[in-house]
């Protein structure tokens, strides 16, 4: 199969690294061609802290996906998270030279490009510029200004900022693993693509992705992203607490959490006991499930309360900003028993678990439809989307060249076509190119 037909999403998480290869079928659903997964060593709280180990983990996952699918992986779309991510609101405007012409995509690109030039704190870089709503000549609340007349085009933006060094480290790992970096996307946005429906985004919803090292939050209202945030702890701190509280090793703590863990202590009777084999001939340990869920409960409450503070910061309590669709939980941590009930109890908001199966073709592997894979599926969707856009631009470009070659002034015309093509490159492509250049020079 040629490279053009499929795309790859690579989720570099704190506990696991997942590579997913897929393509869009004729019904617009995603067909998974192969997956690979490896234990993530060298990532702490969503940030790479050991390059060599991360590279070998990425290679493992990629090789497995290649074996699974019989395809070769070239370029990948990667997610970024970590406590260095912050978001801010910014509004900007451009004055158009000719208000007799209608607003087109080039005007929107020009406005977005202007935001990318914002001066950030030292060592920070803008990852995403997400337009919220536009104003044309003072007329507000316009969602799609293309095709309207107007002299002054204004917009509110949700700007996501990350640490340059973290972004470069991810790029470095990808490059050293023998891959091309196609795109970098904020992980909560990728998970949101995979598990939220358009209706939920319209009604207002908070997506909570509980990973191993971080808990990511993305809030949508009226179909637009309103708030993003990364909280620097996830499922691993729960395991850590069980390890400390029960004096057992990490592997056993993780198994206990998955098999017997519950976020609601009232569930377990006092006489339910698990026996854990001791180390090297020591006596086995007996742990009551009630104690286990007390430990888990304390930690989960802390995580949920932190997230709820962020939801309140967004302004959920104002009538206009109310999140009618409530909360969607996803990520590996969302599989904890009774977590949904606990979240509903703490926040008073409707809650469901988000599975990324809505966009997958019917015959997809059961495993991929688990919340564990939400981010990876979202990154794959992002990769397919980018490929589609590029193809459209490419077709337009070929068409333009055909038209232009027929004209007398061949040379000038070709230069023209090239110019239109460069303008059409999305801001993100430019940013990716800048990053690639940087990595090439860093060699």
Please give the Cα distance from 265 to 35 (Å, whole number): 36
Please give the Cα distance from 83 to 26 (Å, whole number): 39
Cβ-based burial of 353 (10 A; exposed 0-12, middle 13-18, buried ≥19): middle
Q: Determine how β-strand 7-12 pairs with β-strand 16-24.
A: antiparallel
Angle (deg, nearest 10), helices 374-405 and 187-195: 90
Please calculate the CA angle 91-94-99 and round it to the nearest 5 degrees.
135
From the list 370, 368, 306, 291, the residue with the least C-alpha distance to 335 is 370
Please give the Cα distance from 153 to 129 (Å, whole number): 16
From the list 235, 207, 239, 242, the residue with the least C-alpha distance to 221 is 207
Q: How many CB atoms lie within 10 A of CB 5?
A: 11
Residue 57 lies in a domain: no
pLDDT in tens, 391-405: 777 777 777 666 655
Please give the Cα distance from 272 to 290 (Å, whole number): 7
Q: How many CB atoms lie within 10 A of CB 80?
A: 23
Residue 141 lies in a domain: no
Residue 312 lies in a domain: no
Please calculate the CA angle 406-411-412 and round it to the nearest 5 degrees.
95
Please give the Cα distance from 287 to 375 (Å, whole number): 34
Residue 63: how many CA atoms within 13 Å on its side-chain side?
Answer: 8
From the list 183, 89, 68, the residue with the least C-alpha distance to 127 is 183
Residue 282 lies in a domain: yes
Please give the Cα distance from 210 to 257 (Å, whole number): 15
Residue 259 lies in a domain: yes
Torsion of CA 99, 103, 106, 112, to 10 degrees: 100
Torsion of CA 151, 155, 161, 167, to 10 degrees: -60
Angle (deg, nearest 10), helices 105-116 and 427-442: 40
pLDDT in tens, 190-210: 999 999 999 999 999 999 999
Residue 292 lies in a domain: yes
Residue 74 lies in a domain: no
Please give the Cα distance from 66 to 59 (Å, whole number): 10
Q: How many CB atoms lie within 10 A of CB 112?
A: 18
Residue 108 lies in a domain: no
Structurally, the chain folds into a number of domains equal to 1
From the list 229, 183, 285, the residue with the least C-alpha distance to 85 is 229
Give the domain CATH number at 274. 3.30.420.40
395: tokens are: 């077709």
The partner residues of 32 in beta bridges, in order of sequence, read 22
Q: What domain range includes position 249?
A: 235-299
Residue 213 in contact with residue 15, Cβ under 8 Å? Answer: yes
Per-residue tens of pLDDT for the chain, all 443 residues: 445 588 999 999 999 999 999 999 888 889 999 999 999 999 998 899 999 999 999 999 999 999 999 999 989 999 999 889 999 999 999 999 988 899 999 999 999 999 999 999 999 999 999 999 999 999 988 999 999 999 999 999 999 999 999 999 999 999 999 999 988 999 999 999 999 999 999 999 999 999 999 999 999 999 999 999 999 989 999 999 999 999 899 999 999 999 999 999 877 777 889 998 888 888 999 999 999 999 999 999 999 999 999 999 998 888 889 999 999 999 999 999 999 999 999 999 999 999 998 888 877 777 888 999 999 999 999 999 888 888 777 777 777 666 655 554 554 444 444 444 444 455 556 566 666 666 666 55
pLDDT in tens, 252-266: 999 999 999 999 987
**Residues in Cβ contact with 281 at an 8 Å cutoff, skipping those fewer than 6 apart:** none
């Amino acid at each position: 199969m040629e490279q053009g037909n499929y795309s790859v999403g690579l989720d570099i998480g704190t506990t696991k690294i997942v590579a997913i290869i897929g393509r869009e079928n004729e019904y617009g659903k995603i067909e998974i061609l192969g997956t690979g997964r490896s234990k993530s060593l060298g990532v702490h709280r969503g940030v790479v802290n050991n390059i060599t180990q991360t590279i070998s983990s990425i290679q493992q996952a990629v090789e497995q996906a290649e074996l699974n699918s019989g395809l070769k992986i070239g370029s990948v779309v990667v997610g970024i998270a970590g406590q260095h991510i912050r978001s801010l609101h910014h509004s900007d405007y451009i004055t158009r030279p000719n208000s007799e012409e209608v607003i087109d995509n080039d005007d929107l690109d020009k406005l977005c490009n202007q935001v990318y030039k914002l001066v950030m704190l030292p060592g920070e870089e803008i990852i995403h510029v997400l337009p919220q709503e536009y104003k044309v000549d003072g007329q507000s609340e316009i969602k799609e200004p293309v095709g309207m007349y107007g002299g002054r085009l204004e917009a509110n933006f949700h700007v996501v900022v990350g640490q340059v060094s973290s972004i470069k480290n991810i790029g470095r790992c990808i490059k050293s693993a023998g891959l091309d970096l196609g795109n970098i996307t904020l992980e909560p946005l990728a998970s949101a693509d995979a598990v939220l429906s358009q209706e939920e985004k319209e009604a207002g919803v908070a997506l909570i992705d509980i990973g191993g090292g971080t808990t990511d939050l993305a809030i949508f209202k009226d179909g637009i992203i309103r708030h993003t945030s990364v909280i620097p702890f996830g499922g691993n701190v729960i395991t850590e607490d069980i390890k400390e509280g029960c004096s057992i090793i990490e592997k056993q703590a993780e198994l206990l959490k998955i098999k017997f863990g519950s976020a609601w202590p009232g569930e377990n009777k006092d006489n339910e006991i698990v026996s854990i084999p001791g180390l090297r001939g020591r006596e086995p340990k007996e742990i009551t499930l009630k104690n286990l869920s007390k430990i888990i409960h304390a930690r989960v409450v802390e995580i949920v309360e932190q997230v709820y503070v962020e939801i309140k910061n967004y302004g959920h309590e104002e009538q206009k900003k109310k999140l009618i669709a409530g909360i969607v939980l996803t990520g590996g941590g969302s599989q904890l028993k009774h977590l949904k009930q606990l979240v509903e109890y703490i926040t008073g908001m409707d809650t469901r678990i988000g599975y990324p199966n809505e966009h997958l073709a019917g015959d997809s592997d059961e495993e991929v439809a688990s919340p564990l894979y939400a981010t990876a599926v979202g990154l794959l969707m992002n990769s397919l989307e980018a490929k589609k856009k590029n193809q459209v631009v490419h077709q337009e470009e070929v068409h333009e060249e055909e038209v232009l070659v027929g004209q007398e002034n061949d040379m000038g015309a070709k230069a023209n076509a090239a110019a239109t093509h460069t303008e059409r490159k999305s801001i993100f492509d430019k940013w990716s190119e800048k990053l690639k250049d940087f990595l090439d020079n860093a060699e």
